[in-house]
Structure formats: C-alpha cells, structure tokens
C-alpha cells in the first residue's frame, strides 16, 4: 500500500511576524496564524475525504495549537494525535529566540562565517546542524513509507524542508532552497510532491 504524507507547517506566530528565530523556543499563533491553520484544515478535509489517516505533530506549543485547530476542522480527535519529539524544529541552541539572522551575524560574526562555509554541518553552541535534523527525521519518513496509508504531519519550517529534500532525493543546496509556506500543505507521494494552496480569509 502506498504512502501519502500531508506536510503542514504551523500557522504564523507572534515571533514569526517579528522575525525572531524560534528554534525550539515557542510563541503563540497570531490571528492570521489561526486562520492559516483553519484554512489548512479545510483544504485537508477536502483532499482526505473519507480515507483513513493518522495525524502526527511536533509537541511544541505552536504546532500543538495548529494541530488542535486542524483536528477540529478535519474532525479528528485531538487525543489520537501522535506527538513525536523527532518532529521538533531545529534548535539554534543558545541562540534560540534571537532577534533575527541579521542581529545574529552582527553579534556573532565568526559563527556567521562558519555557517556560510558549511551550512549543512554548522551548529550554533548547543544547537543542531541540518545533518542532525536529517538523522532524526529519516527514521520517521522510513516508517511512514513502510506503513503505507495517509499521514498528516504538523511540523516546522526547517524540518519540513529536510523531509521534502529526503523524499525527493535533493542535495543540500536544493533542500535549503525549498520554501516554508504557512498557507499551503505539501502532499508527498510516490511520484513527488504536490503543493496544495489553501484559502486564507484576509483581515
């Protein structure tokens, strides 16, 4: 039986809007983020139809919030969501919560230079590299592929890019070049990836 994975990023948070780097730290959804989560749910309800599916999510607050809204919209019980630590966002370690990339580069120019030279293996102090994230999500992707069926996965920007890069067999630069929308869901299947744009009611 083939596998289909619906990959969703959490809705916009207050720190997304402020340009702050969250990593494993957390901030709540904005009104726009709530609407995005609801729109993703509405789109998923249509594409899932009556097929059986399992919902997975990162246990961080913003993904919990997003999946709660998604569950209500698609009619899936929240208590059946599989929260998995392997889906948490890449952590910038000591730099989680920093004001932004520009500020980081200004305050830690040597780290910025190391990152520029080898972004894939670079880690901030007490942080993770992209390689480490790939190592922790690969087994998840493999178990979903082995299991078959439909899986809705609510996670984060970098984790989503790395999952898609693995799925498509992309190289590192191609993986980094992928987008991280909060108003679309990526459908990963045997033949590649579709993007499902969602309706978002504006303010």
Partner 1 sequence: MTIYLLRHGETIWNRDRRLQGQRDTPLTLRGTHQAVAMGQRLARVLGGRRPGAMLSSPLGRAYQTAALVADEIGVDPDRIVLEHLVIETSFGAWDGLNMEEILEQYPHEWAERRADRWHRAPPGGESHAEVAERAGRFLAAMPDQRPLVIVAHGSFNRILRGLWRGLDGLASLALDEPQDGFYRLDSERRECFIPAGAAPREDAGSS
| Active-site amino acid positions | 10, 89
Token readout for 9 is: 């990023």
Q: Is 73 among the residues that bind partner 1 (CB under 8 A)?
A: yes
Token pair 């899936």: residue:
76
Beta strands 53-57; 3-9: pairing state: unpaired
Q: Which residues of 136-167 are buried (b: 16+ CB within 10 A; e: fewer)?
A: bbeebbeebeeeeebbbbbbbbbbbbbbbbbb
Name the segment binding partner 1 (CB under 8 A); options: 29-37, 106-114, 152-160, 168-176: 29-37
Q: Is 28 among the residues that bind partner 1 (CB under 8 A)?
A: yes
Nearer to partner 1, 29 or 44 (CB): 29
Q: Is 22 among the residues that bind partner 1 (CB under 8 A)?
A: no
Q: Is 74 among the residues that bind partner 1 (CB under 8 A)?
A: no
**Using CB under 8 A, which of 68, 132, 170, 193 touches partner 1?**
68
User: Taking the complex as a whole, how short is the minimal distance between the CB of residue 35 and partner 1, in angstroms?
Assistant: 9
Report d(CA 103, CA 109) in Å as an integer. 10
User: Taking the complex as a whole, how short is the minimal distance between the CB of residue 184 and partner 1, in angstroms?
Assistant: 20
Q: Is 137 among the residues that bind partner 1 (CB under 8 A)?
A: no
SS (H, E, C) 114-162: HHHHCCCCCCCCCCCCHHHHHHHHHHHHHHHHHHCEEEEEEECHHHHHH
Q: Which residues bind partner 1 (CB under 8 A)?
A: 14, 18, 27-31, 34, 38, 61, 64-65, 68-69, 72-73, 78-79
């Amino acid at each position: 039986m083939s596998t289909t994975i619906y990959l969703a990023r959490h809705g916009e948070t207050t720190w997304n809007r402020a340009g702050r780097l969250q990593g494993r730290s957390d901030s709540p959804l904005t009104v726009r983020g709530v609407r995005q989560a609801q729109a993703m749910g509405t789109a998923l309800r249509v594409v899932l139809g009556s097929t059986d599916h399992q919902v997975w999510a990162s246990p961080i607050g913003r993904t919990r919030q997003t999946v709660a809204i998604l569950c209500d919209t698609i009619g899936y019980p929240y208590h059946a969501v599989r929260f998995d630590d392997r889906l948490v966002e890449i952590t910038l370690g000591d730099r989680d919560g920093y004001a932004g990339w520009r500020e980081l580069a200004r305050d830690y120019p040597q780290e910025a230079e190391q990152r520029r030279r080898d972004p894939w293996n670079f880690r901030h102090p007490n942080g993770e590299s992209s390689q480490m994230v790939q190592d922790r999500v690969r087994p998840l992707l493999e178990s979903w592929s082995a299991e078959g069926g439909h899986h809705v996965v609510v996670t984060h920007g970098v984790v989503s890019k790395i999952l898609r890069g693995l799925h498509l067999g992309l190289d590192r630069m191609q993986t980094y070049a992928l987008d991280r929308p909060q108003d679309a869901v990526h459908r990963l299947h045997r033949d590649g990836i579709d993007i499902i744009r969602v309706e978002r009611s504006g303010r």
